[in-house]
Amino acid sequence: MSAGVALERLEACDLCGDRSFQPRKEWKDLLLFGPERWRLVECETCRLNFINPRPTRSAIPTFYPDDYPAHVAPATQPKSWHRVASAKDAPAPGLWNRLRLHFRQDISWYRFPRWHGDGRVLDIGCGSGGRYLDVLKGLGWTTYGVEPSQQAVTHATAKGHHAVVGSAEEQHFDDESMDVVTMWHVLEHTHSPRKALESCFRTLRPGGQLSLCVPNWNSSQAAIFGRYWWSCDAPRHLFQFTKQTLTRYLEDAGFRIRMIRTRTGATSWQRAYRGIANDLLGTRWQKDSKFLITVSDGLVAVLSAVRFFGVGAELRVIAERPA
Ligand SMILES: [Zn+2]
């Protein structure tokens, strides 16, 4: 470990509280190329995998690139499939629209919710609100967000979202105030997924819905790409989840799981190629390639048939706070 990075050691498993861990892997930082080696350990009792030791909460921002643009981009406008999925007056989709929606939701980084309650949605890790909250606001939802970056929150606020600076573990809005809470690739970044899920549960009204996505540690991509798999993203991804550990986390927090399935988006393929290319060629390619993502969309739709075997690259969940 390099000097100067404040580290902490997790003594008890965040999921089950047990204290015996086995070392599993040692990873380099594939994004910022720092000198540290990060150790992934597995809890002997519940099989949760996590980075230990890890940067403290105050040290972690130094491991994130600051790539927010200085100007506020115009709000993203809803497309026709977003209306079919999430508009207040959207009729129940017929067979054709159900198929179309299934495909669109599956290749989209975000899953757009059906209208729920009064249409109050909280996106944790909202960034500047672009793409997700912008679209929902455009469809009549009242949009709330939490995000660690002050600059991103300033942008989100300028676009009319109720956004605050903070972490997923803290609770920023009233108990039982939200109809839908979403976390797109956030839980693996938190210092305590348990606290983050407990906070989501309290913020949702009874009958409210939590929708989230995390990398799937039991995916075929994780097996194929090894240390180049995109979620071997130490020390930003502090936890790796399987269907079993994520289910236990959600049920312990009080949620009832409505859907848990895997998907494979184009981003994960593209990042694995990037990690391999950087290692082989000595390059320091950091950004996602929109071009590679766009050209692989069709291929991904075909290859992601592996999702039917539960080994897609990501776990996507809809859970409910029981009424
Ligand atoms: Zn455990």
Residue 42 Cα, ligand 1 centroid: separation in angstroms?
A: 8
- Tell me the per-residue pLDDT of 119-131, one tens digit each, with 9 for 90 and over: 999 999 999 877 8
User: Ligand 1 centre from 245 Cα, in Å?
Assistant: 9
Average pLDDT for 72-77:
87
**Ligand 1 centre and the CA of 241: distance in Å?**
12
CA of 44 to the centre of ligand 1 (A): 7
What pLDDT, on a 0 to 100 scale, did the predictor assign at position 3?
54
Say how many Å lie between the CA of residue 249 and the centre of ligand 1: 10
pTM of the full structure: 0.91
126 Cα–ligand 1 center, Å: 29
Mean pLDDT of 55-74: 84
Q: What is the CA(164)–ligand 1 centre distance, in A?
A: 32
Average pLDDT, rounded, for the chain = 91
DSSP classification of residue 279: H
Would the pLDDT of 42 be above 90? yes
Q: How far is the CA of 209 from the centre of ligand 1 (A)?
A: 26
CA–centroid distance, 170 to ligand 1, in Å, is 22
How far apart are the CA of 237 and the centre of ligand 1, in A?
17
pLDDT at 31 over 80: yes
Q: Is the pLDDT of residue 259 over 50?
A: yes
Give the Å distance between the CA of 19 and the centre of ligand 1: 8
Q: What are phi and psi of 77, to 5 degrees?
A: -90, 145
CB atoms within 10 A of CB 8: 13
- Centre of ligand 1 to C-alpha 40, Å, is 14
- 21 CA to centre of ligand 1 in angstroms: 8
pLDDT at 7 over 60: yes
What local confidence, expressed as pLDDT, does residue 87 receive?
Answer: 96
Query: For position 111, what pLDDT does the model report?
Result: 94
Cα separation, 139 vs 26, whole angstroms: 45
| Per-residue confidence (pLDDT) for residue 1, from 0 to 100 | 46
pLDDT recorded at residue 257: 98
In the chain the domains, ranked by start, together with CATH numbers, are 20-48+80-320 (3.40.50.150)
Confidence bin at 68 (pLDDT 50/70/90): low
Q: How far is the CA of 243 from the centre of ligand 1 (A)?
A: 14
Å from CA of 31 to ligand 1 middle: 28
How much is the pLDDT for 133?
96
Query: What percent of the chain lies above the pLDDT cut of 70?
Result: 97
Instruction: Summarize the confidence of residues 51-77 as an average pLDDT.
Output: 87
The token pair at 239 is 């936890």
pLDDT score of 113: 96
Q: For residue 50, how far is its CA from the centre of ligand 1 (angstroms)?
A: 10
Centre of ligand 1 from the C-alpha of residue 247, in Å:
13
Q: What is the pLDDT of residue 78?
A: 95
Q: 248 pLDDT exceeds 50? A: yes
Cβ within 8 Å of residue 312, ≥6 positions away: 216, 219, 220, 261, 262, 263, 264, 304, 306
Contact 16/44 with Cβ under 8 angstroms?
no
User: pLDDT of 281-322, one tens digit each?
Assistant: 888 888 877 777 777 777 776 777 777 788 888 999 999 999
Per-chain residues with Cβ under 5 A from ion ligand 1:
13, 15-16, 18, 43, 45-46, 48
Least confident window among 24-28, 230-234, 240-244, 286-290: 286-290
DSSP secondary structure letters along 148-174: S-HHHHHHHHHTT-EEEE--SSS--S-
**81 C-alpha to ligand 1 centroid (Å):** 41
